[in-house]
Structure 1
Amino acid sequence: MSLPCHISGPASAPPILFLHGGGVSGWMWEPVVDRLSDRFRCLVPDLPGHGRLACERFSFAGAVAALAELIRTAAGGPVHVVGLSLGAQTALHLIASHPHLVGRAVVSGALTRPLPGIGPYRVLLRLTFPLAHREWMIRANARQLGIPREYLAQFRADTLQTTAEGLEAVVAENMAFRLPDALRTAPVPLLALVGGRELGLLTTCARDLARNLPSARAYVVPGAGHTWCLDRPDLFAAVVAAHVADEPVPPELVPLV
């Protein structure tokens, strides 16, 4: 599967691959990429089941295989990887399967423990899916996810392209996620982030990453929600640039111990 990918920045600059969250697509990285594309080669694909690939069925295995091919063809070698939510989980699978293709990594809001009740939740999704395309529900979901008003049009477009089967596949993969065993020996320096306003479980998951990966650190971003790359892009871009350069992260971040 070939992934549609927006590429910007100098061809000779260090490449960074940005992986979006579930239910949205590559546009969610626009404000961060705008702040980094003068110094880095930014690769922003749409993952299967999202955006321009809404007709495809998402799986971590399929996404990782397509990403590995994208890295080889578009970057010609290792890239740094940044992922949020579902994109963060995908980044972890990519590191576990192809550590030689990843230089350094930043993941934010990663769920790393499986959640119970996938079966009943899938039934509920099928029953309620007809409401998902109603304007009032689109706006409610955007507010719940922390999508700023200026990105509502992009969020609406992605939502209207989503199928019930596609959404079900994304949710099932997300809820069943477990840390791949290969991560425990992966040498990739990893920065695990969680917003201070996110669920406590995601803070626990960030701490899990710092404890289980040999080259990982975890930080809380005070006051940040799940999609803080959209409403705090200056800080997000500064964090990415610092980690890629192996420099101290901005002082706003609080270490998780």
Structure 2
Amino acid sequence: MTLTVTSRGSGPDVVFLHGWGLSSRIWQPLADRLAPTLRCHLVDLPGHGQSPDGYAGLNNWVDAVAETVDRAVDGPAVYVGWSLGGLVSLGMAARHPQRLRATALIAALPRMVRAPDWPWGLKSNAIEATRRGLAEDFATTLSEFLMQQVLGEPGAARAVRSLRNDLIDRPPKRDGLERGLDILFEADFRPALPDLRVPSLWVGGARDRMAHPDGMAWASEQAPDGEHWRVERAAHAPFISHEKRVADRIRAFVDALDAGA
């Protein structure tokens, strides 16, 4: 089995990986801005959008993405991962480093759940409550979790519309949601950051409390070629609330790779 990918534009290859509960459709407005100069590949993660489920564990998700992208690109690509998609991007860097030129992590931490030695991210009981809610009231639980991602943003109304439209048009599969929660709960790339051998851009919303920007700043300092960009007045979805600024930054990030090649 392979995943669903939609490609558009021309130029250097950039792969986009979405967050939990959504689909690649959430990237379309950003891709429209980038398509004149970049070749954008929008991937539906396992059990999300139009991709099949049945993939358990981060390594299997990473391998499925790698197989899918291999059919769409010729050579290494830049990976852009949002939240859960950021963990998959980091997994790609660890498992298939030859397939990456660089990675941009948007509202993504190397560990997405808090721990005694990690003060940033989601509380573990929030993940478990979401898991229980999927069994009790699937639609409400998913909708409430997604709405939390844009709290505090000046463009919250627009962001809510984008999230809801994506949820209605391409509802995720229960198996994909469960496996995605497992990854959010278990993945921890903190020890691997010093070995990240590609440039990394960590994009954090100043108002994000799901992936705190201080945690992203810390991660960028651990990576050998890491850079942190804090987007003021943004929360967990800066590529929606600050679409043009994020598009410009991604384009500049890719241009700098080409200039240094």
TM-score, structure 1 as length reference:
0.83
Match for 1:103: what amino acid? R
| In 1, Cα distance between equivalents of 2:133 and 2:215 | 30
Residues 195, 226 of structure 1: 8 Å contact kept: yes
The change in CA–CA distance for 1:37 and 1:195 in structure 2 (over 3 A counts) is same
Query: What is the aligned counterpart of 1:204 among 193, 206, 214?
Result: 214
Find out whether 1:231 has 2:241 as its counterpart.
yes
- Residue 145 of structure 1 corresponds to 149
SS at match of 1:6: strand
SS of residue matched to 2:50: helix
Q: CA deviation at 1:148?
A: 3.0
Q: Give the Cα separation in 2 of the matches to 1:200 and 1:71.
A: 28
2:7 is the alignment partner of 1:3: no
Compared CA separation, residues 185 and 193, structure 1 to 2 (3 A):
same
Kept in 2: contact 1:110–1:205 (CA 8 A) = no
1:41-86 CA distances to partner (integer Å, 9 max, x unpaired)?
1111101121112633453211211222233221120001111100
Say whether 1:115 aligns with 2:114. Answer: yes
- How far the C-alpha of 1:152 sits from its partner, in A, is 2.0
Looking at structure 1, the residues matched to 243 and 162 of structure 2 have their Cα atoms a distance apart, in angstroms, of 14
Gaps of 5+ in 1: 248-257
| Residue 250 (structure 1) aligns with | none
* Residue identity matched to 2:183: E
CA distance in structure 2 between the aligned counterparts of 1:9 and 1:127, rounded to whole angstroms: 39
2:79 paired residue number: 81
Change (3 A) 1:236 1:57: same
Map 1:1-257 to 2 at 5 A: 1-10=1-10, 13-53=11-51, 55-113=53-111, 114-115=113-114, 121-122=127-128, 125-126=131-132, 129-134=135-140, 140-146=144-150, 147-159=159-171, 161-163=172-174, 165-179=175-189, 181-199=191-209, 202-246=212-256
d(CA) in 1 for partners of 2:49, 2:94:
26
Residue 111 of structure 1: how far off its partner (Å): 2.6
- How many Å separate the matches in 2 of 1:212 and 1:223? 25
Q: Distance in 2 between matches of 1:124 and 1:76?
A: 39
d(CA) in 1 for partners of 2:125 and 2:162?
A: 35
User: Would you say the 8 A contact 1:195–1:228 is kept in 2?
Assistant: yes
RMSD, aligned CA: 2.5
Q: 1:142-199 CA deviation, whole Å, 9 max, x = no partner?
A: 432223325522223444x431x43232112112221164442232011111101101
4+ residue runs over 6 A deviation: none
Query: CA shift at 1:3, angstroms?
Result: 1.2
